Structure 1
């Protein structure tokens, strides 16, 4: 619909949605900005953690307001994302019956803008509406930014891995698991405003949910408070003296990961990805209270911590890491 006037062409423009991009919310694939695991991510959006998952459609209505529409037609959204990633056009128009909820705002920073409508803004609040969703700030460092940083390391694994030799990072020594000597640490850039899926998208209209649908889902709430490792979602982390021992947090994360092997964590806390473009090589992503891990089961790992803003700490294989990564790979959820 490029070059058209959506307000002129869409009947009842204020009640229609101009689709900008989409994302999946499933146990194996969800926007990590929302939480450490799938139940936590669903809780932020006021959704029940249904095993089948959801599709998230981000767009603007005819007045320019930001909306996140939750649908239960996961396959439709998955096909649209796959088509866009291949540079193909796809008309993402979910059926009205598939709409679960319509939430004001966007939880992700979406750079795309709908043509012919006002600039993106939060919709006018009405009584009973949940607070608008907002993406995390790039000016601070916290759990959301830490998880986004880990996602970036996973996406750019080859570039990060090339900075670490078998003996350690260029210019420094990489401790193997359990060794506390601080190495030279790399920095991850602050999150930038990017589309939820970095590929050109067609822009299509479909009717956004009515106010009744918008408020039918439970009000969004924060994930539960801190719990023991493996017991539930948490963004809190014990304080550590990072100045004297920056790898104390890494050892804590590895200890909690071993706990996952004996007491499985909430679904999605450990997940595995792999694509044909990467030669089918799997990448592990795991999160916990105050830390995120990125690893290859047959290689090394990187850890990011809340208490060390924008720093990426490499962990060499050592004698114990291979067994840990093998165990995590066995329990990780994978996209179907």
Structure 2
């Protein structure tokens, strides 16, 4: 049995076995990755350079952009290279690292979205106490709490997953390493793992979701009292896309992680995993930041300064 329980390499699945489609998927992943990276790095740059954006709201937007850039970097480059080279192999150490980072960034992204919802709730519903409630010290403490608890959360789930022996197969039916796909490969009892995933998923995910919904309910109840309809429209047009992204992020993640591994299907899981691993980092810069008037003005200013600097350097 020991010969079957020692797995040093796994094989990932692709979206297609046709070579031409593999190349197309590879370049599509690469374009999405570059666009996501550019959008998030742009947000980080302008919110750091422009002192007018040194407020709690943009502090959390900057944190979200950093998390999104790291989150998609963990997943898409490897998938893109595998499709381009027609290679499916990933070492066990790489798989361990990928699972740890995916779970960590998923957790931090979710808690960051909850904090951002709370920030908007305080800003709209308690504007007079906003600077006191969301002080720089409180913002930093909340951020550090998310990071530290995320490390513990990811470390526990990664360690508890890889304590299992794998002997059924080394083929992971997913385009990156994730826990539900690995549980299918174990030749030992995985009931405790499944229960822990469900309990922690409902506890963390359900808690954050409830907190986000409660925050937006408070926001909407306050917005409906605004005397000017245009202010109501602006508030709703800002909040509703946020809620949609959160719902897509959570529902797809819950559906993949909280189902028993025995009833899941590979292609369905791969498609759904795109909705919680690729789509949110790609859309967040657009929905949370680039639609914001202050961000757009700062981006234009930074671009103009960059062009002026390049032209001045060229003339010099």
TM > 0.5: no
Q: Which is strand-richer, 1 or 2? A: 1
* TM-score, normalised via structure 1 length: 0.22
Relative to total residues, which structure has the larger helix share, 1 or 2?
2
The higher relative CO (CA closer than 8 Å, separation ≥ 6) is in 2
